[in-house]
Chain A
Amino acid sequence: MGGRLTFVQGNEACVEAALYAGLDFFAGYPITPSTEIAELMSVRLPQKGARFMQMEDEIASICAIIGASLTGSKVMTATSGPGFSLMQEGLGYAIMAEIPCVIVDVQRGGPSTGLPTKVSQGDINQARWGVHGDHSIIALTASNHQDVFAMTVEAFNFSETYRTPVILLFDEVVGHMRERLLIPESGEIPLVERLKTSVREGVDYHPYLPREDGRLPMSDFGGVHRYNVTGLFHDMWGFPSDNPQVVHELLRHLVDKIESHVDEVTRFREYYLDDAELLLISYGSAARSALHVVMDRRQHGERIGLLELQTLWPFPTALVQEKAKHARYVVVVEMNMGQVLQSVKVAVDRPERVFLANRVDGVLITPFDIRNILRLIQGKGV
């Protein structure tokens, strides 16, 4: 296997992957702990003839990338919790107008200014529900730099496939930690390019008329088809409509195009699940500590396993139900007050057997923390 071996921060791995995926335009605003992404983009993008812009705030950043995406560009912005909150209206616009874009949230402690330099996984539900109105969303995460790379490329691929914004929910530890990254050779990971319309000039093009497979071929702004894009409910021309049937169909389409493809967008890793009585479910940097516990306890003969989620939204309910079927206990390891825990409880057959192992003080949850909680659950005392 070829490629280029590097020793980088997680934020750098994200940048490398975005460039690998063909990023054309990045707009952002400085915020810890995501700033390195913007800094590196300002160096790297012009080197390949692409463009970086530092905007006046995060609202402008997401708006600028949406505008750029309409010209056919692959686009990205990166931020952290407070900036992610500011982006929610723009995010909703991209969902409604079906414009591909990738938004990175390197999570820090919140609410509010919170803990700018410390780790948290507190934005999981904001990623799902921060936008007003009914909608669906794709959100991915990763626990190590190779997966940061893979998930970032996936984010671009999913955003093009489903014509939707995709959120990358990294966290401060993954963002700032340094470890090895093997950058794959060009072509090693397949890239999804924008589906362009085959409708010729002079023939009526309907930007919002889905094909039979639900996909909508696009035409670039500046190209031969002129059409309207709006955040209002709209008909197949993109013109505003409050016709109940138009509204009904569009809303169903926006939700169904993602919810009916849960299997296609579900990414995960599993460790020792075959005979696990004790199932840990984790993601992001917390999954590193969880994996450490699993390896350690396996050496002591304990039947313990780890399901590491990489797709958080749409939540892989069927996967979690299946993997938890034979577990006596399920323990969700995360650095929040139980945001993924809730989805796991809904997914499994016996929610009373689901427990939370968490830490919310800005410190990475340790294997020691997890083991103590496991002992309590198993009635062994600490």
Chain B
Amino acid sequence: MAIKDYIREKFFPHIWCPGCGHGIALNGLLHAVENMGLKKNDVVMVSGIGCSSRIAGYLDFHTLHTIHGRALAFAIGVKMSRPELTLLAPMGDGDALSIGGNHFIHACRRNIDMTAIVMNNKVYGMTGGQYSPLSGYGTMATTAPYSNIDQQFDVVDMATAAGATFVARTTAYHVQQMADILEEAIRHKGFSVVEVMTPCPTYFGRKNREGSAVDMMEKLKTMTTPIGSKAKQENPALIERGVFVKKEMPEYCAEYQKIIERATKGN
């Protein structure tokens, strides 16, 4: 199936700003889905609220645009009822890790088979540039006019600590890696977390004097490095990209099937 067959053309143009990285994340995801040859009827996409969440409307899957922070909880209900379906949950950084933080860590812990994509632009874009739990100490935002004193989460560390069985990070600059990682994440049998760093020139970039969209894209290239690279040893400030965790653990729906078998034995 051609990539354009996966989108709902009649709902374009999309709402994202010029220079936003979310469209590139969508592109990477479509390449992964196309490469896997997934059937549209077998894919359910569940999103939350924010710029990231609008991705669901543009795709010709079963799409569920939910409420802020709760995408994973809705997705779990779908998956538990129809375990054979492929669940994709794109979320924003505030969506996944601030208001949705509780659902995020518990979804990691349960290891239910779905792919959480955290489109991290370090800002609440839809509401106009407030700081998120991923913005970082010292950044500027419309709600941090004197500089942000909140320390940040690291999505990868958080997901790993919470027990996710596949954890990876990529960026909107590294499109080929993004598609490869997303495919690996979707293929993984368990709860997969992929952080996609995406630029928000409209708010984060403007408030933090990061220059144009092109400058921000360039920064994604220069501030990141493959996991375990020599560059990282020389410059610990670099952010690593790649697959951090990939391990086998009992998957939740499969485990529940065993519960059903145990419960029905006496019948």
Contact = CB atoms under 8 A, between A and B. Distances in A.
A interacts with B:
yes
A50 to B, nearest CB: 8
B77 A24 contact: no
Interface of A (DSSP majority class): mixed
Given A46-B264, A53-B80, A71-B81, A59 B64 contact: no
A67 B41 contact: no
A257 interface: no
Contacts of B66: 63, 93, 231
Given A51-B256, A57-B102, A60-B106, A222 B77 contact: no
Contacts of A224: 41
A66 B66 CA distance: 10
Interface in B39-71: 40-42, 44, 46, 56-57, 60-67, 70
B81 to A, nearest CB: 4
Given A57-B102, A60-B73, A60-B106, A67 B63 contact: no
A53 B64 CA distance: 20
A230 B65 contact: yes
Contact of A49 (B64, B76, B77, B260): B260
B46 A227 contact: no
Given A71-B81, A224-B41, A226-B40, A64 B74 contact: yes
B82 A63 contact: no
A208 interface: no
B74 A63 contact: yes
Interface residues of B, number: 40
A55 interface: yes
A230 B55 CA distance: 12
A94 to B, nearest CB: 10
A322 interface: no
A75 B80 CA distance: 12
B2 interface: no
A67 B8 CA distance: 22
Most buried by B among A66, A67, A230: A67
A65 interface: yes
Nearest to A89: B67
Contacts of B84: 222
A71 to B, nearest CB: 4
Contacts of B41: 222-224, 226
Given A93-B66, A231-B67, A240-B57, A67 B102 contact: no
A25 B256 CA distance: 12
A228 B65 contact: yes
A258 to B, nearest CB: 22
Contacts of B70: 59-60, 63, 90
Interface in A85-123: 89-90, 93
Interface of A: 24-25, 27, 43, 46-49, 51, 53, 55-57, 59-61, 63-73, 75, 89-90, 93, 221-224, 226-232, 239-240
Given A223-B41, A228-B56, A230-B65, 7 more contacts: A49-B264, A55-B106, A56-B106, A63-B73, A67-B79, A68-B77, A228-B63
5 contacts: A46-B264, A60-B103, A68-B78, A71-B81, A228-B63
